Amino acid sequence: MSDVHAHPALAHHFDSLEEQKEAATLGMWVFLVTEVLFFGGLFATYAIYRTWYPDAFAAASHELDVTLGTINTAVLITSSLTMALAVHAAQLGQRAKIMVFLALTMALGGVFLGIKSVEYYHKFAEHLIPGPGFQFEKEHIRHAQIFFSLYFVMTGLHALHMIIGFGIMLVMLWWTWRGTITAEYYSPIEISGLYWHFVDIVWIFLFPLLYLIGRHAH
């Protein structure tokens, strides 16, 4: 608008910050719908093979490290909390607090990825990478490869989403630091939060589906 007092963050093609915020929020939700279908293809594949090969999946799942998986789950849920606190601080325009909570969220994300790498390394050392070098008990050696293929692709894509989340957090830190984020204009932090929570929720599904199959029977 030709309003000389327009907020510096207001893009030329919106009438008000309010409208701009609504558009950004809707945009993020639509993007998350896309993400649901992206992971949905994997979950569908998982569901089919798990139904076909329940024993192999249970046996392969036993090779995963439940302790590390549980710790990671807790770490990630905590990072969701710190993210929510960052959003809250943003609504109040508390610059220092936003930056602290964003940094904490990133640190927790870093712990998660660190633990994940340790797990990956163990799988590598135990010859559990699907392909010609795969080693497993004779009975399940074929179908267990499907499980580990799914394991690596699902957790790998999840990790990739976290790394993208890191990039977003860095931008948010930068914007907060230079003063773009204010109590009037905090929607970037809010929609980054939506993204981060989504990534956490994916893990909440991955954890039981991959780590906890058939535990009750043993």
Partner 1 sequence: MTTALVPARHYLNDGYGIKSWLLTRDHKRIALLYLAGVTFFFFIGGAFAVLIRLELATPVGDLVSDETYNKLFTMHGVMMVFFFLIPAIPSVLGNFLIPIMIGAKDLAFPKLNLASWYIYMLGAAFTTYAIVTGGLDTGWTFYTPFSTVASTSAVIPAALGIFITGFSSILTGLNFIVTIHQMRAPGMTWFRLPLFIWSHYATSLIMVLGTPVLAITILLVAAERLFHFGFFDPAVGGDPVLFQHLFWFYSHPAVYIMILPAMGVISELVAAFCRKPVYGYPFVAFASLAIAVLGFLVWAHHMFVAGISVYAAMIFSILSFLVAIPSAVKVFNWTATMYKGSVSWQTPMLYAIGFIGLFTIGGLTGLFLAAVGLDIHVTDTYFIVAHFHYIMVGGTIMAYLGGLHYWWPKISGRLYNEWLAKFSALVIFIGFNLTFFPQFILGYLGMPRRYHAYPPEFQVLNVLSSAGASILGVGYLLPMAYLMWSLRYGRLASDNPWGAVGLEWNTTSPPPTENFAEPPEVTWEAYDYGSPVVEEHV
| Binding stretches for partner 1 (CB under 8 A) | 11-13, 19, 22-23, 26-27, 30-31, 33-35, 37-42, 44-45, 48-49, 52-53, 129-132, 142-143, 145-146, 149-150, 152-153
- In angstroms, give the least distance from the CB of 92 to partner 1: 26
Of 5 and 13, which has the nearer Cβ to partner 1?
Answer: 13
* Number of Cβ atoms within 10 Å of the Cβ of 31: 14
- In angstroms, give the least distance from the CB of 13 to partner 1: 4
DSSP code per residue over the chain = ---TT--TT--TT-S-HHHHHHHHHHHHHHHHHHHHHHHHHHHHHHHHHHHH-HHHHHHHHTTS-HHHHHHHHHHHHHHHHHHHHHHHHHHTT-HHHHHHHHHHHHHHHHHHHHHHHHHHHHHHHTT-SSSTT----GGGHHHHHHHHHHHHHHHHHHHHHHHHHHHHHHHHHHHHHTT---SS--HHHHHHHHHHHHHHHHHHHHHHHHH-TTGGG-
Of 131 and 179, which has the nearer Cβ to partner 1?
Answer: 131
- In angstroms, give the least distance from the CB of 69 to partner 1: 21
Of 27 and 208, which has the nearer Cβ to partner 1?
Answer: 27
Of 107 and 126, which has the nearer Cβ to partner 1?
Answer: 126
Of 101 and 195, which has the nearer Cβ to partner 1?
Answer: 195
- In angstroms, give the least distance from the CB of 38 to partner 1: 4
Integer Cα distance of 187 and 162 in angstroms: 20
From the list 154, 171, 58, the residue with the least C-alpha distance to 106 is: 171
Of 4 and 37, which has the nearer Cβ to partner 1?
Answer: 37
- In angstroms, give the least distance from the CB of 34 to partner 1: 5
- In angstroms, give the least distance from the CB of 41 to partner 1: 4
